[in-house]
Amino acid sequence: MKLATRIFGEVEIDDSKIICFPNGIIGFPDLQKFTLMHDEEQGSGTIKWLQSIDEPNFAMPVMDPLVVCPDYKPLVDKTEVEAIGELAEDDMLVLVTVTVPHDLTKMTVNLKGPFIINTKEMKASQTIIDNDEYPVKFPIYDILQKNKEKG
């Protein structure tokens, strides 16, 4: 399938790479089909893009929360992820949204609203974590810089 995106231009998307969010994502319930992309020119691939198939102009930066918060282990209410099938640890991918303001030193991730992806079924859900330990705006710039220096 060809998709004309705002960030990546025209791209070919393999049907097997389409992730279905049966309930949409928070704030965008009608957007249910996405794919994960990364900008190969930007290098490391730490930040990927959750690219909407339904609305090609919509994409949001996401990343593995363990890169910036190694102890991240949110408790997810099973009823919130029932629609994505049985979740085995090997088939689960957790991603969080990244906010990238003009001042990059203010970059944050949302640890409160992760995406839980069943990579076997290619189904996903966004959930809200009921735990004050995980903020909506967790600063990551300094952590990413330290990780970059470590190599």
Domains in the chain (CATH in brackets) are 2-150 (2.30.290.10)
d(CA 138, CA 128): 15
d(CA 46, CA 78): 28
* pTM for this predicted structure: 0.89
Amino acid in position 83:
A
Confidence of residue 40 (pLDDT cuts 50, 70, 90): low
Which DSSP string do the residues of 73-141 spell out, in sequence order?
A: -----HHHHGGG----GGGEEEEEEEE--SSGGG-EE-SSS-EEEETTTTEEEE-----TTS-SSEE-H
Confidence of residue 43 (pLDDT cuts 50, 70, 90): low
Confidence of residue 13 (pLDDT cuts 50, 70, 90): very high
Reading phi first (left if > 0) and then psi (alpha if -120 to 50, else beta), residue 146 is in alpha
